[in-house]
Amino acid sequence: TKYLTKTKAFEGLPKLSDFKIVEEDIEENLADGEILTEVVCISVDPFIRVYPFPPGIPVIGFQVAKVLASKNEKYQKGNLVMHFGGWKTICKVADSSCWYRVDNVLSKEDITQGVGVLGMPGMTAYFGFLDLCQPKEGETVMVNGCAGAVGSLVGQIAKIKGCKVVGCCGSDEKIAFAKSLGFDEVFNYKTEKSWPEAIKRCAPNGIDCFFDNVGGQLASDIINQMNTKGRIACCGSISSYNSKTPMQGDIVQPAMVSKQLKMEGFVINEDRFKPRHPEGVKQMSQWIKEGKIKVRETVTEGFENTPKAFIGMLSGDNIGKAVVRVN
Ligand code: NDP
Number of C-beta neighbours around residue 87 at 10 A: 27
Any domain includes 89: yes
Ligand 1 centroid to residue 314 C-alpha, Å: 7
Is 195 contained in some domain?
yes
* 75-81 contacts, C-beta under 8 A, 24 or more apart: 75/35, 75/101, 79/103, 80/40, 80/111, 80/114, 81/35, 81/37
Could you tell me the CA-to-CA distances from 163 to 1, 130, 153, 211, 273 in Å, in that order?
A: 48, 12, 14, 13, 24
205 within a domain of the structure (yes/no): yes
Measured distance CA(174)–CA(170) in Å, rounded: 7
From the CA atom positions of the chain, what is the Rg in Å?
20
Mean pLDDT on 215-220: 97
Q: Any residues with Cβ below 6 Å from ligand 1, and which?
A: 45-47, 120-121, 124, 145, 147-151, 169-171, 174, 213-214, 235-236, 238-239, 266-268, 313-314, 316, 318, 322
Share of the chain above pLDDT 90, in %: 98
- Same domain for 221 and 130: yes
Count of domains for the chain: 2
Report the nearest-CA residue for atom 10 of ligand 1: 316
CA distance 97 to 293: 28
Three-state helix/strand/coil letters over 305-322: HHHHHHHHHHCCCCCEEE
CA of residue 286 to ligand 1 center, whole Å: 25
DSSP state of 132: I
Probe target for ligand 1 pocket from 150, 317, 318, with the most ligand atoms within 8 Å of CB: 150
For residue 27, the CA-to-ligand 1 centroid distance in Å is 37
Predicted pLDDT of residue 22: 98
The percent helix, strand, coil of the chain (3-state, each to 5) is: 35, 25, 40
| pLDDT value at residue 104 | 95
Do both 175 and 199 map to the same domain?
Answer: yes
pLDDT per position as a tens digit, 273-286: 999 999 999 999 99
What is the arithmetic mean of pLDDT over 208-223?
98
Question: What pLDDT, on the 0 to 100 scale, is given for residue 28?
Answer: 82
Residue 304 and residue 258 in one domain: no
Q: What ligand 1 atom has the least distance to the C-alpha of 235? A: 41
State how far the Cα of 219 lies from the Cα of 197, in Å rounded to an integer.
14
Q: Kindly indicate the confidence band of residue 246, based on its pLDDT and cuts at 50, 70 and 90.
A: confident
**90 and 18 in a common domain:** yes
Q: Report pLDDT for 148.
A: 98
Q: Tell me, in angstroms, the distance from the centre of ligand 1 to residue 213's CA.
A: 6
- Which residue among 243, 265, 287 closes a domain? 265
Nearest ligand 1 atom, CA 121: 43
| Residue bearing the CA closest to ligand 1, atom 1 | 148
Rounded Cα gap, residues 29 and 92, in angstroms: 9
pLDDT tier for residue 38 given thresholds of 50, 70 and 90: very high
Task: Quote the CA–CA distance of 140 and 196 in Å, as a whole number.
Answer: 16
Over residues 75-83, mean pLDDT: 98
Q: Give 128 Cα–ligand 1 centroid separation in angstroms.
A: 14
Domain that holds residue 223: 121-265
Same domain, 103 and 201: no
Mean pLDDT, the chain, as a whole number?
A: 97
The answer to the question of residue 281 being in a domain is: no
CATH, residue 23 = 3.90.180.10
Rounded average pLDDT over 19-30: 94
- The predicted-structure confidence for 297-320, as pLDDT tens digits, reads as follows 999 999 999 999 999 999 999 999
pLDDT surpassing 90 at residue 248 = no
CATH at 210: 3.40.50.720
- 157: CA distance to ligand 1 center in Å? 17
Q: Is residue 286 part of a domain?
A: no
Closest-CA residue, ligand 1 atom 39, reads 267
Spatial separation of the C-alpha atoms in residues 217 and 219, rounded to whole Å = 5
Same domain? For 72 and 106 the reply is yes
Contact 250, 221 (CB under 8 A): yes
What is the CA(246)–ligand 1 centre distance, in A?
A: 18
Q: Are residues 184 and 105 in the same domain?
A: no
User: Is 152 found in the same domain as 236?
Assistant: yes
DSSP per-residue codes, 35-70:
EEEEEEEEE--THHHHS-PPTTSBPP--EEEEEEEE
- Across residues 186-209, what is the average pLDDT? 98
Q: How far does residue 311's CA lie from ligand 1's centre (Å)? A: 12
Judge if 152 and 211 occupy the same domain: yes
Residue nearest to atom 32 of ligand 1 (CA): 236
Output b/e per residue, 123-155; b: 16+ Cβ within 10 A: bbbbbbbbebbebeeebbbbbbbbbbbbbbbbb
Does residue 276 sit within a domain?
no
Q: Are residues 61 and 14 in the same domain?
A: yes
CA–centroid distance for 267 within its chain: 11
Q: With a threshold of 0.90, does the pTM exceed it? A: yes
Q: Are residues 217 and 309 in the same domain?
A: no
Condensed to tens digits (0 to 9), the pLDDT of residues 81-134 reads 999 999 999 999 999 999 999 999 999 999 999 999 999 999 999 999 999 999
pLDDT of residue 247: 83
Domain presence at residue 314: yes
287 in a domain, yes or no? no
Q: Are residues 48 and 9 in the same domain?
A: yes
